[in-house]
């Protein structure tokens, strides 16, 4: 007789199945509805599964759709390079704050030929760079819960991030102990104190370097509370894999949506016992991720060339994910949704970020600023440039070659992740200068696309030779049958050239 699976394993197995056609239809209807209905999501073919199709004609270079990420995070190593909104990923503060942030948080601390007091006054806004008001950025808004790891461009982003997942992941004083919105009457006062805390932590960063913000992992501290548990989780993710931060957002966001469905009793078609209702709510809340890649991280990750024992390598990764999940469960576990906390589900979320072409990229406005002050095509006169450079030249020299460092990270996009691959794609993801200044995915037409045609992206370098493309796509788990591959497979001599 077959042994019945424990409930968490049984739920996990079902969460990792492809989305039922009903749930998929309702979900993608919502997604494209929010994005202007320029496309629809439907079955492309049995082999390819779902795809994105144009519902109107597009000319070359037309915007097909633009969508904000569902979850996302800046790479840990990128945080010192770019100060961005934790929700929409636009650059914040001012050009002066961005430059001061970079120079003050540098750890390679070669002596910089810029007075640190001047950098601090730029950081605090006391000093302003000439002409920097031509590149206005939104002011810093601190986290509602009072933590210092999240910072926003606006009250809207702070509130949206809090509602989406941060209320369960915030280690700020005001987020504890119960994860509810902070009391309104003292909000102003507490917001001020949280801004002070942010300032202080930044000042510590300025005097001691970024390293001081990430203390080593402590083992089983006394009076283990929720904020400590969250910090332990974050430190582990910082030290091992950035994707754990985003995986936590996925789990927290799913939990919050499921919880809301239960509170409002609004899961479609849900009746029965409270266990059955919880399970229906979880399935509904999980819809955005059920459509994505479904292999655990430790199975789908490419083995680095210097690794000789692939089996041991994969089991180490599994162990690492298991450690991360245990740290997450310490503050997030909810017994109503056991499947959400199963290692296979967690591993699949992390795996999704290994392969799904989920780069987050936002160009730096600092680049445009230096272009104005030092570039040949500047709108400033030669004399204005000369005067300005007395201030900006030392900063540019101190920043060095990477003066224009962008915001880089990973994110998950509901619609973009449904676009199938083609080596002769009809569309491409591209950020238009000065228009797309946040973390949204932007998909443009690479050629004219007729209504009803599929919107395909290339996951790889589509100009690479046939065999290289085939090998690169093997990592994604499929053999490409696009028209270019079909033609080159039929004429192998030509393809090898
Ligand atoms: Zn924002
Ligand atoms: Zn927070
Ligand atoms: Zn192809």
Question: Residue 165 CA: which ligand is closest?
Answer: 2
CA of 227 to the centre of ligand 2 (A): 10
Looking up tokens 């239809």 gives 25
CA of 175 to the centre of ligand 1 (A): 20
CA of 302 to the centre of ligand 3 (A): 21
CA of 201 to the centre of ligand 2 (A): 14
CA of 211 to the centre of ligand 2 (A): 20
CA of 136 to the centre of ligand 1 (A): 14
Question: Residue 68 CA: which ligand is closest?
Answer: 1
CA of 17 to the centre of ligand 2 (A): 33
Question: Residue 72 CA: which ligand is closest?
Answer: 1
The strands making up 71-74's β-sheet, listed across from edge to edge, are 71-74, 407-412, 359-362
Ion ligand 1: residues, CB < 5 A: 85, 87-88, 153, 157
Strand pairing report for 49-54 and 39-45: antiparallel
Question: Residue 407 CA: which ligand is closest?
Answer: 1
Question: Residue 152 CA: which ligand is closest?
Answer: 1
Structure tokens at 454: 């599929």
| SS3 at position 231 | helix
- pLDDT tens-place values along the chain, 497 residues long: 556 889 999 999 999 988 888 888 889 999 999 888 899 999 888 888 889 999 999 999 999 999 999 999 999 989 989 999 999 999 999 999 999 999 888 765 566 678 888 999 999 889 999 999 999 999 999 998 889 889 999 999 999 999 999 999 998 877 654 433 443 434 444 444 444 554 555 454 444 433 333 333 333 443 458 889 999 999 999 999 989 999 999 999 999 999 999 998 887 777 788 899 999 999 999 999 987 766 888 988 878 888 889 999 999 999 999 999 999 999 999 999 999 999 999 999 998 887 665 789 999 999 999 999 999 989 999 999 999 999 999 999 989 888 889 999 999 999 998 999 999 999 999 999 889 999 999 999 999 999 999 999 998 999 999 999 999 888 777 889 999 999 998 876 654 44
Ion ligand 2: residues, CB < 5 A: 143, 145, 147, 150, 170, 172
Question: Residue 162 CA: which ligand is closest?
Answer: 2
CA distances from 475 to 355, 356, 470 (A): 8, 10, 9
CA of 429 to the centre of ligand 3 (A): 17
CA of 422 to the centre of ligand 3 (A): 5
CA of 299 to the centre of ligand 3 (A): 24
Distance (Å, whole) CA 127 – CA 246 = 36
CA of 450 to the centre of ligand 3 (A): 20
Structure tokens at 80: 């010192």
CA of 59 to the centre of ligand 3 (A): 23
Question: Residue 158 CA: which ligand is closest?
Answer: 1
Distance (Å, whole) CA 449 – CA 354 = 30
Per-state percent for the chain, helix, strand, coil, to nearest 5: 50, 10, 40
CA of 277 to the centre of ligand 2 (A): 31
Ordered by start, the domain boundaries in the chain are 35-68+413-496, 71-93+137-359
- Which residue in 282, 91, 87 sits closest to 170, CA to CA? 87
Structure tokens at 387: 């005067």
CA of 459 to the centre of ligand 3 (A): 10
Pick the CATH number of 35-68+413-496 from 1.20.1250.20, 1.20.120.160, 2.170.270.10, 3.30.750.24: 2.170.270.10
| SS3 at position 223 | coil
CA of 161 to the centre of ligand 1 (A): 9
CA of 257 to the centre of ligand 2 (A): 19
CA of 96 to the centre of ligand 3 (A): 46
Question: Residue 160 CA: which ligand is closest?
Answer: 1
Find the helix or strand (DSSP H, E) in which 252 lies: helix 243-263
CA of 288 to the centre of ligand 2 (A): 24
Question: Residue 191 CA: which ligand is closest?
Answer: 2
């Amino acid at each position: 007789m077959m042994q019945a699976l424990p409930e968490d394993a049984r739920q996990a197995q079902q969460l990792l199945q492809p989305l039922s056609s009903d749930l998929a239809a309702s979900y993608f209807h919502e997604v494209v509805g929010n994005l202007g209905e320029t496309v629809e999501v439907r079955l492309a073919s049995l082999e390819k599964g779902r795809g994105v199709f144009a519902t109107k004609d597009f000319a070359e270079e037309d915007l097909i759709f633009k969508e904000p990420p569902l979850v996302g995070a800046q790479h840990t190593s990128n945080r010192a390079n770019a100060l961005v909104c934790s929700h929409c990923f636009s650059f914040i503060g001012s050009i002066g704050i961005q430059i001061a942030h970079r120079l003050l948080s540098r750890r390679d601390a070669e002596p910089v030929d810029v007075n640190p007091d001047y950098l601090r006054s730029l950081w605090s806004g006391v000093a302003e760079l000439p002409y920097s008001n031509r590149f206005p950025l939104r002011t810093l808004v601190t986290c509602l819960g009072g933590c210092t790891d999240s910072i926003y461009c606006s009250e809207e982003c702070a509130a949206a991030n809090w509602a989406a997942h941060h209320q369960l992941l915030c280690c700020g004083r005001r987020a504890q102990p119960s994860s509810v919105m902070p009391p309104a009457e003292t909000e102003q006062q507490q917001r001020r104190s949280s801004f002070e805390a942010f300032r202080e932590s930044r000042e510590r960063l300025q005097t001691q370097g970024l390293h001081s913000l990430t203390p080593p992992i402590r083992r089983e501290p006394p009076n283990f509370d929720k904020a400590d548990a969250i910090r332990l989780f974050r430190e582990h993710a910082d030290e091992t894999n950035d994707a754990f931060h985003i995986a936590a957002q996925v789990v927290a966001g799913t939990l919050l949506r499921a919880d809301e469905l239960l509170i409002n009793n609004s899961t479609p078609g849900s009746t029965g016992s409270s266990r059955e209702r919880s399970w229906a709510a979880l399935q509904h809340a999980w819809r955005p991720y059920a459509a994505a890649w479904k292999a655990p991280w430790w199975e789908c990750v490419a083995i680095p060339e210097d690794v000789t024992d692939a089996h041991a390598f994969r089991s180490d990764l599994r162990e690492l994910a298991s450690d991360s999940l245990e740290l997450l469960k310490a503050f997030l576990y909810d017994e109503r949704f056991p499947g959400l906390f199963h290692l296979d589900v967690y591993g699949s979320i992390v795996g999704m970020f290994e392969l799904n072409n989920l780069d987050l990229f936002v160009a730096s406005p600092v680049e445009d600023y230096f272009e104005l002050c030092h570039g040949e095509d500047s709108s400033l006169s030669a004399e204005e440039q000369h005067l300005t450079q007395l201030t900006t030249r030392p900063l540019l020299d101190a920043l060095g070659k990477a003066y224009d460092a962008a915001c880089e990270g990973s994110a998950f996009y509901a619609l973009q992740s449904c676009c199938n691959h083609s080596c002769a794609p009809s569309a491409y993801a591209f950020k238009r200068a000065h228009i797309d200044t946040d973390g949204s995915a932007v998909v443009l037409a690479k050629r004219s696309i007729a209504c009803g045609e599929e919107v395909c992206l290339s996951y790889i370098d589509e100009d690479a030779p046939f065999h290289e493309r085939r090998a690169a796509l093997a990592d994604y788990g499929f053999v490409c049958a696009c028209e270019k591959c079909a033609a080159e497979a039929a004429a192998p001599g030509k393809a090898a050239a």
